[in-house]
């Protein structure tokens, strides 16, 4: 089995979408500190330029590339790949991390659904399909890390477009890993990053200070690296409020809706509130 140290090392190349802030920027900084060449892709020229400046201060201008990219558009991702290959020659880590999360309902405007599914799901699918074949063909070990969400597993009420997009990321990444491990000669593995409550631009709202319950992006990336060192596919992150054991129970309950033929999302159904509470307490 390939060791993570054979991939996250000096002279190798990482590409991170959504790399100008949050988890993406924290990952880019981690890769830069070990001497990797790093390409970050995002929207927002000023923010992207500032992130690139931070990275160059870590690893030098020659090792950093920043490309304005709309991951919802396949041709934009294809242009990103051409630019990266021209500059660095090959890619060893692809982190499909770009994500948005405006609130939606089932009958929200079509544009809201299109933008969330376009960025969160198609950005991952097309990012993988655009970079993945070249990553396989160069023959060196590598990783594809896709950022999912706990909401894509337990699918709580409140933002169905986001939940659908992240549930799709989970299913796609599982299928990707299955295909990669059954591809002759493949040295590429796929991994699903499942963050907890992380204080980023996506989650902070009007808050200026990190809530006590939240992790920082750096904590999340550190946990991700530790999980990759173990060879984990599902990188299920805790936070300062919810331990892994609680996440496991919530996920098991969600699957139990199908097995026990309960109403969907029974965890939030008034007739099952006491049963769910007792289930959590019984498992402690």
Catalytic status, residue 166: yes
Catalytic residue among 9, 29, 74, 162: 162
Q: How far, in Å, are 43, 226, 244, 283 from residue 277 at the CA level?
A: 42, 32, 17, 10
- Closest to 144 (Cα-Cα) out of 243, 235, 50: 235
- Residue 269, burial from CB neighbour count under 10 angstroms (0-12, 13-18, 19+): middle
Q: Please provide the distance, in angstroms rounded to a whole number, between the alpha carbons at the two ends of the chain.
A: 36
Question: Which helix (H) or strand (E) covers residue 56, if one does?
Answer: helix 45-59
Catalytic status, residue 277: no
Catalytic residue among 166, 187, 270, 279: 166
Strands (E) in the chain, as ranges, are: 13-17, 37-42, 64-68, 93-96, 142-147, 188-194, 234-236
- Closest to 195 (Cα-Cα) out of 244, 253, 229: 244
**Could you list the active site residues?**
162, 166
């Amino acid at each position: 089995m390939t060791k993570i140290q054979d991939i996250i090392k000096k002279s190798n190349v990482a590409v991170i979408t959504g790399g100008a802030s949050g988890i993406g920027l924290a990952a880019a900084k981690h890769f830069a500190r070990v001497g990797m060449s790093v390409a970050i892709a995002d929207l927002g020229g000023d923010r992207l330029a500032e992130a690139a400046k931070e990275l160059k201060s870590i690893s030098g201008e020659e090792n950093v590339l920043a490309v304005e990219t709309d991951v919802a558009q396949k041709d934009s991702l294809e242009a990103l790949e051409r630019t990266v290959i021209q500059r660095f020659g090959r890619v060893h880590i692809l982190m499909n991390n770009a994500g948005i999360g405006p609130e939606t309902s089932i009958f929200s405007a079509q544009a809201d659904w299109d933008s969330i599914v376009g960025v969160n799901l198609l950005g991952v699918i097309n990012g993988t399909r655009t970079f993945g074949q070249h990553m396989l063909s160069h023959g060196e070990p590598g990783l594809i890390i896709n950022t999912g969400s706990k909401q894509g597993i337990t699918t709580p009420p409140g933002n169905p477009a986001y939940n659908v997009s992240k549930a799709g990321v989970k299913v796609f990444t599982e299928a990707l890993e299955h295909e990669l491990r059954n591809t002759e000669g493949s040295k590429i593995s796929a991994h699903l990053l499942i963050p907890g409550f992380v204080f980023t631009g996506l989650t902070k709202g009007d808050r200026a200070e990190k809530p006590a319950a939240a992790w920082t992006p750096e904590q999340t990336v550190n946990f991700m690296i530790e999980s990759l060192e173990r060879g984990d596919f599902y990188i299920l992150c805790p936070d300062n409020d919810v331990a892994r054991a609680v996440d496991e129970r919530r996920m098991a309950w969600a699957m139990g809706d199908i097995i026990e033929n309960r109403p969907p999302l029974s965890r939030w159904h008034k007739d099952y509130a006491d049963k769910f509470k007792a289930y959590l307490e019984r498992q402690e």
